[in-house]
Structure 1
């Protein structure tokens, strides 16, 4: 690789010389180009000549010109270097190299054509067995693979491959099923939960899972719970006791009918006590679990998952999954993305690919929405001005500006996708900038600057909302906070907060988490009402009645002008006809364990 860089530097120093054209040059000139001694120049030229890149005919004597003939264009060398980087698992470096502005488009096309053949599913026979690999595109950065500190969908998906919780929630039957725990029971007060663990479950480093690992996991989650997802559940956990090597007793401070569902989330995945204590913060980058795959590599270019043969629910069909970090795969030409991979998330299926590709639109969806911070003094304390904000958000225009597939207007968390409008929602007005500005003036809005706060992942949504509000006459600035800052007190300095929620298997838990978090910026009466209804949800054993109460919270917030829906986006998965065993996990991503390929 280093020798190739020297050749490129040398070749670019004489752009007027064609390949196979002799160049008369002195060692002094070459030493200046390569920034090294005469002796090293001669050694480099001999090595390049041996590679067939050039021909070097030296002449003796200081100042006498020797003959140099280039045989390989610099662009060809760049292409070979990019291929070499890919084969060394440095895709980011290869793409950066091929994005040099001076490179001809034909060379980039050749690189991507080669890349197409490198990605996707590959199979090779090694002795008496076949080794199957899936290369999968990943467009989100993996900041953490520690179940206790994950924040984003891609992180949660990988955690699902590496770890297991005590139980699993079955979306089809709407029941909790055994997993690491083969059985469980709760006492009459519904505050003491006893879990009985399977015997012989192994962590990736070879040690058997015990009740002590479960106790450690839940105690650790309590330490990490400040601002974390579902932290309200952990605040109710009083004690966790390992009654014997395979029996765990969890005591709650009050009944919580959703505790068992929480025990089935990836957030509550069981970690090994010994390695977590040893690695501390480093565990997030190199975790060890009990899942069907174990982590072999995790760097800036890719994440490699190798099969874990002793997995307690049976060995995965694949031997390896390589998650390649590729920015902008959704913006690539359709042919490139679809030839490169056998499974693609959130990608529009071209008409010409309908015969060889299949498409699944999942049940889960993400919802973007706004809430109003009534803790901060400002114009939005006035319900009429909050109504004006709601009226200014032309969701048809918002969706048009967003573009994309499987996006539609949102009116409710609970009834998403049924097309029914919430009767308690404020009336949307006809959008007319002049009328809107006149209305704002009548309402007493004097041009005060409103701060709209969100995290960097939703910056584009915030900018589109900002544009719509500005067109209606509001002065709006966007403030981006890190995820940790957004969880804390800094967001309470904003007037408007832009959130996103994933409504999947854990929809009940996620809604409770959202409303618990929203209480921090509600006015006292609304805060008390939401708190009362949340307590009712936690004590209700019927899922149907829980959802009715969650709907009542939503309707109350909407009627008070405290919650403004923007849009839903469903996740769609494309997969090639050769892919078999496609099933979806709680976050509506493909479960790698079940995938196999028909040759």
Structure 2
């Protein structure tokens, strides 16, 4: 954005000319020096330049006591829109976004500006040479959460870490088998009390050093040092032996049939022991971090990656709370041309694909706060009101299936009888409800907000007072202090048994924060044998754990969700990754014949 536009918008923000366009505004040079933060001499230079470019007309005051007259010649929205488009066209996304926050923007203009921004998301091929880099831009309509394998708790950041870091092994959920990663093979003794990993040679971290078994040991030690919320999963390890630079053995205090799942999880992403990941995020994955701020994450393809180098050269993720769409954009940049400026035919146009998520939206009760929700009958009444089939029928959207579990195939086993409002009212009376207010927390997102308003109205009809409390960022202490119940969403990994047991045991999530110690001990006792059991027995135990949540109404399951992504027909290499996202390292763009 040029300086004249900046000065014009600065004056407009201070003098509010919206209702006085083409009407002279009395001002003094001294007043303008305060607004523009410069000397009287520079103010006169700026005014002369603005007048030459037809932004304003200026009539200086003659004599002492006579004020000058400033007339705005152009509408502020027009200048703001031009400036926004200029910044975006130059790739200066952050300054463009800041414009929306700095000045009052009406809704129609905001929609136009966001439409311009959306066109900058998706795939770009940088011009100038035949080797122009291919770039993917993704926008997120929320703030960036913690990007650290030891403490990550959100699905999207976990997905990103999977492109930055690598694990010793990976889990193929469809085939139900483990595959080599940084370890090319492994062994386990007959009693499942000792695991030996053989590491690949020649694997380099992004800072250039070769990976060795010491880094694997350091990664586990880092989980302990940072008091990772998942450290409890690794409690069976009693000794780590570095047999050589490329062999490492883990000895356990008891048999653990689930051990390989732990080492394929994002938390055991192997990090260099000699680098502080919080200051310099370095891994061995297909992409390395080029830039990291609260607004933007830029990833670049790592040419020395031990696997197959990604075909996309750079990935930019923009975190734009309250601005960007919740639909992931994998579109090409222009509806009429491909990245190589090749015309795109009708069948090449972008389309939407669906990702039914393993997980659901649900309600948790805050048992850390005193209140009527501690009475089982009050929670049962809310179970009647928060009825999944009714939500799907009345709200629609991305709600695709009633949930009684985080797993859709388990939800399909349960009926969903719809209770009457009178039944909910009778339960409140049985609980001795006297009009106490319950506070419901929800994220500032469309689906969560409409669900909260929908439930509030249903509660109002039977005399249950529900107050809404919106929050923007993950802040467990704040929610624990101010909310009685919470609309949350859980999306599980492809390795769903790992995802479920981690949900029950992860100390950083909402469940752990909002249940009382006695409730958590009940779940801990119930799930204690989990790692010693075979897969089918583990599944049955997880089912019992969910039954405990469901039958006691500690959790009210809502609906399974359908995630959407926009992509181009010219986009190839579509392979599903974690949490229903596409594996970016496999994507490439087909330009076609020139």
Return the TM-score normalized by structure 1: 0.78
Indicate the residue corresponding to 2:584 in structure 1.
592
Indicate the residue corresponding to 2:183 in structure 1.
181
Indicate the residue corresponding to 2:304 in structure 1.
310
Task: Give the direction of change, closer, same or farther, for the CA distance of 1:47–1:309 in structure 2 (3 Å limit).
Answer: farther
Contact 1:222 1:235 in 2 (8 A): no
Indicate the residue corresponding to 2:156 in structure 1.
154
Following superposition of structure 1 onto structure 2, how do residues 80-479 of structure 1 map, counting pairs within 5 Å? 80-86=82-88, 87-90=91-94, 91-96=96-101, 100-101=105-106, 105=108, 111-112=113-114, 114-225=116-227, 228=229, 230-276=230-276, 282-283=278-279, 286-328=280-322, 356-362=349-355, 364-370=357-363, 386-399=379-392, 402-414=395-407, 416=409, 419-421=412-414, 428=417, 430-433=419-422, 435-441=423-429, 443-447=430-434, 449=436, 460=449, 465=455, 468-469=458-459, 471-474=461-464
Q: Distance in 2 between matches of 1:15 and 1:376?
A: 48
Indicate the residue corresponding to 1:7 in structure 2.
8
Task: Give the direction of change, closer, same or farther, for the CA distance of 1:358–1:44 in structure 2 (3 Å limit).
Answer: closer
Task: Give the direction of change, closer, same or farther, for the CA distance of 1:70–1:204 in structure 2 (3 Å limit).
Answer: same
Contact 1:501 1:510 in 2 (8 A): no
Answering whether residue 532 of structure 2 is matched by residue 539 of structure 1, we say: yes
Q: Distance in 2 between matches of 1:147 and 1:44?
A: 51
Count of residue pairs brought into register by the alignment: 565
Contact 1:167 1:181 in 2 (8 A): yes
Contact 1:92 1:301 in 2 (8 A): no
Quick check: 382-391 or 294-303, which moved more? 382-391
2:492 pairs, out of 490, 503, 511, with 503
Q: Distance in 2 between matches of 1:385 and 1:29?
A: 61
Task: Give the direction of change, closer, same or farther, for the CA distance of 1:115–1:362 in structure 2 (3 Å limit).
Answer: closer
Q: Distance in 2 between matches of 1:48 and 1:494?
A: 52
Indicate the residue corresponding to 1:581 in structure 2.
573
Indicate the residue corresponding to 1:572 in structure 2.
564
Return the TM-score normalized by structure 2: 0.78
Quick check: 390-399 or 47-56, which moved more? 47-56
Q: Distance in 1 between matches of 2:21 and 2:424?
A: 66
Contact 2:124 2:332 in 1 (8 A): no
Q: CA deviation at 1:589?
A: 0.9
Q: Distance in 2 between matches of 1:15 and 1:414?
A: 54
Q: CA deviation at 1:193?
A: 1.3
Task: Give the direction of change, closer, same or farther, for the CA distance of 1:454–1:508 in structure 2 (3 Å limit).
Answer: farther
Unaligned stretches of 5+ in structure 2?
A: 336-345
Indicate the residue corresponding to 2:343 in structure 1.
none
Contact 2:356 2:561 in 1 (8 A): no
